[in-house]
Structure 1
């Protein structure tokens, strides 16, 4: 009778232990996943993006409040030694077992994420991914974009005159020069000069006076002879 009672007690204890085991795993379970996300990807999307430039880490399906320690190691095709830690951090997951890191970048190359957390079974969650910012390097000019200081066809360069601007007209003037106004004595207002510098108008006046004087003398001589 005592043997039966002891056996029954052992069976009951084993049953309690088995029923408690799932509850213990539910508290700190290894039932979540982590994704690599491009910075433009919504954190609610459960997809992994193994080729990124600016990115973040996104956790899904873990238990509420689990503590996470993560780090990223250089893996291949970069200037760092394989296994060298390049980024690290920690997170406390929310009530839904979800959380994300801040956005980050890495030099071009291949890397590996190690995601450690409370209650993990055996080893960390791992993700291999590639950083590729080749198409987003600053300072590169896209086709069709103007480079600073570059002149477009048809643009005027500083100091350069367009044809027809600032140039004197090459067409000769057809208007005749204005004639000088005549003076009171009938000579031109702009008197021409003789070879020795004397104005022609003045000489003409002197000559006229001499002629008139000579005529007067001749007339007087003729009058005297008649008397």
Structure 2
């Protein structure tokens, strides 16, 4: 009589344990989420992984509400350096939807591995390998010593010679025209406009006429 009763009690207890176990497991933290590497320009809502980035951030999805995350990034082969050396690390508390992201991060060009540890994880941490390569995305630098003037400005200057000539120094004034007397044209004339040569000739003719008259007068007296 006692044996069947004891067996019944054990069966009831075992059934109750089976019914309560799923509920307890559902409330415990889990590792059903995922983490992605995102370029800094990628929106947080995107769930794709980007293994080649320059500036980047870590983006976690689908974890339990409020889970605490401890993450770190290590140097990974073939990048030169000590494998396993931690180069970045921090903590992150996820929001009520199990989502969270870090601030924008940067590392020298190379190969790295992310380790994402959190409360309630089972087994190994979430992890991602990725490359940083900023040289390919950098804009080419302008050559030193290049002129800042635009080609169109040079073309306009060449097309309008008047503009170029207006900026040159004014031409020198032409020299005054020389006259046969050795002076300028203005100095070769008197106040009444008669040439000096004509006046001198008239004076010589008058002097000769006076001399001739004086000579005839003396001859008539003799």
Q: With the length of structure 1 as denominator, give the TM-score of the two structures.
A: 0.72
Which residue is equivalent to 1:33? 34
Matches within 5 A, 1:1-227: 1-26=1-26, 27-137=28-138, 140-141=140-141, 147=143, 149-151=145-147, 165=165, 166=168, 179-180=185-186, 182-183=189-190, 184=192, 186-188=194-196, 207-208=204-205, 210-225=207-222
Secondary structure of the equivalent of 1:9? helix
Tell me, which stretches of 5 or more residues in structure 1 are unaligned? 157-161, 189-199
Q: Which moves more between the two structures, 97-106 or 1-10?
A: 1-10
Tell me by how many angstroms 1:2 deviates.
2.6
Report Cα offsets for 1:93-139 as digits up to 9, x if no partner. Answer: 1111111111111111111000001111111011111111122336x
Give the structure with the higher percent helix: 2
Tell me by how many angstroms 1:63 deviates.
0.8
Q: RMSD value over aligned CA atoms? A: 3.5
Aligned equivalents of 1:19 and 1:212: distance in 2?
A: 164
Aligned equivalents of 1:84 and 1:123: distance in 2?
A: 18
Aligned equivalents of 1:61 and 1:186: distance in 2?
A: 117
Aligned equivalents of 2:42 and 2:135: distance in 1?
A: 19
- Compared CA separation, residues 15 and 204, structure 1 to 2 (3 A): farther
- Compared CA separation, residues 128 and 70, structure 1 to 2 (3 A): same
Aligned equivalents of 2:213 and 2:19: distance in 1?
A: 165
Aligned length: 201
